[in-house]
Structures are given as C-alpha cells and as structure tokens.
Structure 1
Amino acid sequence: MRIMKAEQFGLQREVEYGTPEQNETVRQIVEAIKAEGDAALLRYTEQLDRVQLEASSLRVTQEEIQAAYEKVDAEFLTAIREAAVNVRVFHEKQKRNSWMDLQPDGTMLGQILRPLKRVGVYVPGGKAAYPSSVLMNVIPAQVAGVPEIVMVTPPATGGKAGIDPYILVAAAEAGVKEMYRVGGAQAIAALAYGTASIAPVDKICGPGNIYVALAKRSVFGAVDIDSIAGPSEIVVLADEGANASFIAADLLSQAEHDEMASAILVTPSETLAEAVAAEVERQLATLPREAIARASIDSYGAVLLVDSIEAGITVVNKLAPEHLEVLTADPMSLLGLIENAGAIFLGPYSSEPVGDYFAGPNHIIPTNGTARFSSPVNVDDFLKKSSLIYYSKEALLKNGNSIMTLARHEGLEAHARAIQIRLEQEGK
C-alpha cells in the first residue's frame, strides 16, 4: 500500500461518464424500449443476460418468493429482520409534516408534503448480491408513504431465469409486492417509460454497473433518480493510538467491493502508516475476494501522511468521502470540524460494516466527492413539496405596488397588470 505525503495525492477522481461506445449502447437500448416496450425488453434480456423470457414471466410470482424463503438460512432471516427494524426506526425520525402559517392580515402561506406515487428500485445482480441495499432503498420510501414500490433485478445469466433468493426474501421482508426479473439499462428504461408489463414510475433508485448508471442519467428528467453512484470509498482518519489491524480490516471492507473502490488512511503517524500498510498485505492474503481488493488497493489505495490531525481534517474535507472513520483519542471533539462526509463513524467499534448492514442510517451515500453537496438516501428523497399561498385582499392592497414594481423591472407587463386590475377594482 502506497505511503506518501498528502500533498502528493490527487484528491479528486475523474467522474465516470462512460466511453462513447457505452453511451451509444445505452442510447440505443433506451430508444428501443421507448419504441417497442416488452419486445425490446425481452430481446435485450436474451442478448445481454442470455435468458429467454416471455412477457408473462417477467413478474416474480408469490410461489417463487415462498420458495426463496425455503432456500435462505434462519440466521440470515433473523438478521435481515433485525436490520429492517433498525433502518425503519432511524428513518421514521426523518419524517416531516406539512405546515401552514396564518398571518394577522389573513394571508396563509405553507408547504404541503406528499409522497411520490410510484418508485422503482434497482437491485444489482452482478459481482455480488446485496440484500441489504433492498432495505436501504425500500424502507425510506415506505416511511415517506409511497404506495407503490416496484423492484427490478437481473435474472441469473446463462439461461437461468432465477433470482438470488436472499434478494427476494429481503424485498419481501421490506414489503415489496411487485418484482420483475429484468436488469441493465433495459430495466431502467422500462421503469422510466413503461411497457405493457411494467408501469412507469416517478423515481428510480438503486446502484448498478456503468450501463445502469448511464441509463439513469439518460432518463433523468422523464423521472427523478437518486444519484449516479461511483465506486465505494472509505477514508480513515487516525492518530498514533489507533489499532492498525482494525484500520486495515476496515480499508479492505471497501476495497473488496470493486477494483475501482478507494481506501485511504490519513494520519500524522509514520509508525501507524507502516503498520497499517503491512497489515493490509497480511490480511489481503486470506481474503476470498483478494484479486478485487488488491486491484483496488494498488490503484486507488493510499496512506497519506499529514503534519497533524487538524491538517488531516483539511484533507478529509477536500476528499469529501462516502465513508469516514475517525479513530482518534477523542473523535467527538473533531466532529464539528468535519464538513464533508457522507457517513461519519466515530471510535474503534463503529466499523463501516456496522453502518452498511445494521445500525439504521442509510448506506446509499454520495460518492466521488459529492458529499460536498449531497446527502445519503433519506425520507425526503421520496417526498414532493407544494408551496401553498392564500393572499388576502388586505395583503394584496398593501403589497400590490411592490409586486408591480418588480414585475415591470423585469419587463413583464402582463404580470404587473394582473395585480393592477385587482387594485383598480378595489379603488386603489
């Protein structure tokens, strides 16, 4: 693992926009789904996933869901149920209410919050299946009050139409009633524009490969999307008293996600830096996903040496990481200085997987430095807001001239006259 001065490290990664060929492939798929619906959906499923389906078999049946329960072990079922409770309790605290404010002159202003009607959740089925991501997408939408939540996930490739039973069980436990065996850019287009089998949604959430990400970007505007997620990231800010084996394990917990994942330690301690680099090598040797984790560490991993913890915080704020662990003698004292991080884990026992799976906060978190301006998935992502304006006659008479002044300043005479006609009829 590379050890270097922080100033030698490139703080920003290039945003992944895909190659021209990938973008063109996605454009063709999206246009085909818009034009042909189910026919294109089935054709691309056969071509890309090597699975032949009929339109009638796209939707997962209740019998398949029941069969999935018989394939998962009891320990998983207990754990996913416990995690679902924690996720729901956390997100319930995010709920907000509509409000109205009545003024003495009779004016009433307010904001009405309503849930989206229909949301699509994409669950990847590539290098690994992630039942936990089902909870993180579905439960906030449920808490927001979304009445229709539909899940899409790719069928097993190579001629098998099955879906990972753990994904099906997680979805059922989260309360999803509508699931389809379709993935890739074609699934995103189907959710956005609808087909005979899949009704269109208002918003699409969930991670996927580059083709899914490009498709989400393509359909944005026709529907809302959560984000265009990049590779996973972790930054650990640690002082000389931190446990090197803990840090190495936590860095590798993200490196094993993807060859492009980023795992970085920021520390003023050269002794800790060397110990962590050695421990990463030791732990890598026994990882089942060693090849993936090693590629990540070699390309995007680093130990960054800084002059002080305060200097380290400056580096952290520039990186704006998806996950930040603070492993210092008094992590709470530093919290007010941390401006940019998607999720902040404080202390040696708040390992990143605690948040990934069980604690309750959402694990769908902004990547690639976008924590500077973005937030983890939350209940607000599934609400739409309407402003409420009731202006009394008294208020219009009092403020009408100011409204007309601003309208005429912008050259919009019809705006001004819409106010003037009311004032004139009231003798003003």
Structure 2
Amino acid sequence: MKIIELTEDVSLTRDIETSTEKQRESVGAIINQVRQNGDKALKDLTEMYDGVRLENLFVTEEEIKEAYNHINQQTLESLRRASKNIQSFHERQTRQSWVTTNEDGTMLGQKITALDSAGVYVPGGKAAYPSTIMMNVIPAQVAGVRNIIMTSPPDREGKLAPAVLVTAAELGVTHILKAGGAQAVAALAYGTETVPSVDKITGPGNIFVALAKREVFGQVDIDMIAGPSEIVVLADNTARPDYVAADLLSQAEHDEMSSPVLVTTSKTLAENVQTEVEKQIAELPRKEIASASINDHGAIYTAAELDEAVEAVNQLAPEHLEIMTKNPYELLGKIRHAGAIFLGPLSAEPVGDYFAGPNHVLPTNGTARFSSPLNVDDFTKKSSIISYSQTAFERDAEDIAAIARLEGLEAHARSIEVRKKGEN
C-alpha cells in the first residue's frame, strides 16, 4: 500500500466502476426476452449462463429438507443467533401511523403501509451468502411485507447452496427462484407465468444485476446500485497494526475493485500497517484478489492532526468506517458521512457484516453523503391524511385559489371556489 501525506493537492476522489455499452445492450436484450417469453426465457437463459437446464424453476420442499442434512447444529445455532440480533435491531426502526387534530377541527396525519411484496437477490453459483438473506429479508419482514420472493443462480447441478436454503427456510421464505443475473431481476420486476412481480428488489449482484436493477427502476423500486466494497480505518498511534491490516484485508478479499484505506495521524503506524498488510496477505486463500485491491485501490493517508484526518474521512464518505483512536466516541459527532461506523478495537467490520444486528447493505461509491443503510423504512411507504374542516376551509379558500392562479391552474382555483359557492 502506498503511504501518501495529506495535502491540499491530494485528491481523495475514486474512480467509480462504469458499464460498457455492450453490457447495457446485453442487459436490455435479456430483460426484453424475459418480458416476452416468461418462464421459457428464464430456463433458456439459465442454461446459457449457468450451464444447467431446469425442469422446475423453484426450490422444492425436498431440496430444503435435504439442505438441513448438510448444516451442522453449531452453524445452525450461529445463524439463529445472528437472525435474532438482526431482528431486534430492526424492530427499533419501526414507525407508527399518526394523526393530529387542530383546534379548527382539521385532521392531518400520515399512514405507514408495508409494501405488498419484495424480491431479494442473493448471489450464488459457487459461493453462499446466508448473511445477505438475513440482511434483506428480516427488515422486510419487520416492516410487514407479506410476500417475499428470493432468487439466486443455481450451480451446474441445478441446486442452491445448503446454507442458502437453510437460512431462507429458517426465516420462513419458501418461494425461492433458481435464477440469477439480469433475467432474475426482469422476472421479479415484470413477472412470468410462475413468478409474481414484486414492488421492490433488493440485494447485491454483479454488474449485470446492477444494470438490470437500474433498468427496471420505475417499474419497481430498488434498494441501490451497489459498487465495490469500501473500508476506511481512522487511527492514531494507539491502534494495533495487526488489527488495522487484518480489517483492511477483510474488505480487500471481496473484490479486485474493493477500496481499503487507512487514514492516520501516526507515520509509525502507517509504516507498520504497510508491513503487516504484506505479511498477512501472503497467508490469505484469496491473496490474488486482495493484492489487486490493495495495489490498485488501497492507500494509507497520513494527516498532521486528527481534525484533518476526520475531514478526509468525510470526503471519502466510506461504506464502512472503523475508528481506532484513543477516544473514538469523541470523534463520533464529527463524522458526517459513513454507511456504518465501528468504534474501538474490538468492533471489527465483520462484526457488523454478520452478527451485531445493524444492516450490512450499505451505500458505496461515496453515496453515504446522501443515503443510508437498508432499513425497515425501505420496505414501507407513507400516505398523507387530510381531512379539512368547515372552519379551516372558509379561512384558507381564498389563499388556495390565489396560489393556484399564480401557477396558472384555473381549474384548481375553481375546484375551491365551487365549494365556496355551494355554501351560499
């Protein structure tokens, strides 16, 4: 990792992964194919991209029962404890409908309604991501979403990983589609003969999934367009180099495009972390991926003082921020932009990824400047409630009509005035 001294000339902006015209055209063609040919298109495209011809697009009860035979009891209990923590955290996010009545008799309020349905995309193939299922399904369930469809690409035997099936079953998700890529997103957005359309699609995926989500946005809602994973560690001379290096690598191993960054006021720590990263990376099973991430998108920034380091963090607006300083809580109020904030040496990023309870679906590519982690609100919608009284109407009618005419909308004004005439 390069050590860079923070100065006014140092740019902290990052290159955001962009799609090619060929990728966009491919996604558009896939979506149209699914819209026109439904289940047949799903089977054809799954055979083309995943190498298996499916007779049944959905996971059967027998497959779920069989999956339990491949999960040991200790792992199952760990998944259950994680689910409990995640549910408890998200239950604190729920909102209630409310109404208020003014002295003039007018009633105003807001009605909170859960979405009818949601689709959760879970990356698959050779890998298994039970945490993705928990982080997407649980807030939807807490919000009150009645129908949840999960989709994940099958392996070459037409199966999903046992950990994926067991996690879904533990959460009560039984509608599990064996499909991935843009074709799965299209099926969730527009529906097929057997796949019902949903109101919102959440969950991570590759560039084709991201492009498909962008394409269907408007037909359905989506969570976000996720980019490569990011971590920034803000540290002073009290931080342990081996902790910092391990946490940087925990994100570097995700993807060659991941961005692991250290911002520190200690040049000694910077040098020790640089050495420790090289030492630890050699022992990683995914060292080629981690090395590419570290070399191409990693950095160590040194700052003259803590306030300068904090300002750099706010400019980066990272997905994950770890604060390993002598008094991390004193800095919390100064952090304006971060998806998730981990305080202290024991609050390693994987604690949040898997177990603590807060959602790990976080804004990337600097979008923490204006967006939030996936949460219960993402699976609800709000309706305004207005009930005007006679007193309020008589008082406000002239003002309403005046503003309508100011905007050149005569019919708006007359819809008020016709009621005034009706009173006479």
Q: TM exceeds 0.5?
A: yes
Aligned to 2:39: 38
Q: What stretches of structure 1 move > 6 A for 4+ residues in a row? A: none
Q: Identify which range, 404-413 or 159-168, moves more after superposition.
A: 159-168
**One-letter identity of the residue aligned with 1:17:** T
**Conserved 8 A contact 1:17-1:214:** no
Aligned to 2:23: 22
Aligned to 1:160: 157
Aligned to 1:173: 170
Q: Distance in 2 between matches of 1:347 and 1:139?
A: 27
Is the aligned partner of 1:346 residue 2:347?
Answer: no
Per-residue CA deviation, residues 58-107 of structure 1 (Å, 9 max, x unaligned), is: 11011101110111122211110000000000000001100001111111
Aligned to 2:3: 3
Q: Distance in 1 between matches of 2:125 and 2:54?
A: 19
Report the CA distance between 1:12 and its aligned residue. 2.3
**Conserved 8 A contact 1:404-1:419:** yes
Q: Which of 179, 194, 212 is the matching residue for 1:182?
A: 179
Aligned to 1:333: 330
Report the CA distance between 1:353 and its aligned residue. 0.5
**One-letter identity of the residue aligned with 2:184:** A
**One-letter identity of the residue aligned with 2:411:** A
Q: Which of 249, 253, 258 is the matching residue for 2:255?
A: 258
Q: Distance in 2 between matches of 1:267 and 1:74?
A: 42
**One-letter identity of the residue aligned with 2:219:** A
**One-letter identity of the residue aligned with 1:180:** L
Is the aligned partner of 1:13 residue 2:14?
Answer: yes
Is the aligned partner of 1:87 residue 2:98?
Answer: no
**Conserved 8 A contact 2:97-2:111:** yes
Structure 2: which 5+ residue stretches go unaligned?
Answer: none
TM-score by length of 2: 0.98
Secondary structure in structure 1 of the residue aligned to 2:333: helix
**One-letter identity of the residue aligned with 1:303:** I
**Conserved 8 A contact 1:235-1:316:** yes
**One-letter identity of the residue aligned with 1:227:** M
**One-letter identity of the residue aligned with 1:6:** L
**Conserved 8 A contact 1:193-1:200:** yes
Per-residue CA deviation, residues 203-240 of structure 1 (Å, 9 max, x unaligned), is: 00000000000000000000000001000000000001
Secondary structure in structure 1 of the residue aligned to 2:322: strand
Alpha-carbon spacing, 1:169–1:9, altered in 2? closer, same or farther (3 Å): farther
Report the CA distance between 1:17 and its aligned residue. 3.5
Alpha-carbon spacing, 1:81–1:9, altered in 2? closer, same or farther (3 Å): farther
Q: Distance in 1 between matches of 2:312 and 2:283?
A: 31
Is the aligned partner of 1:289 residue 2:286?
Answer: yes
Report the CA distance between 1:14 and its aligned residue. 3.2
Report the CA distance between 1:380 and its aligned residue. 0.2
Secondary structure in structure 2 of the residue aligned to 1:337: coil
Aligned to 2:353: 356
Report the CA distance between 1:287 and its aligned residue. 0.5
Q: Distance in 1 between matches of 2:16 and 2:280?
A: 30
**One-letter identity of the residue aligned with 1:190:** A
Report the CA distance between 1:261 and its aligned residue. 0.4
Q: Identify which range, 21-30 or 34-43, moves more after superposition.
A: 34-43
**Conserved 8 A contact 2:125-2:160:** no
Is the aligned partner of 1:276 residue 2:273?
Answer: yes
Is the aligned partner of 1:374 residue 2:375?
Answer: no
Alpha-carbon spacing, 1:237–1:301, altered in 2? closer, same or farther (3 Å): same
Secondary structure in structure 2 of the residue aligned to 1:234: strand
**One-letter identity of the residue aligned with 2:198:** V
Per-residue CA deviation, residues 286-333 of structure 1 (Å, 9 max, x unaligned), is: 001111111100111110011111101100000000000000000001
Report the CA distance between 1:126 and its aligned residue. 4.8
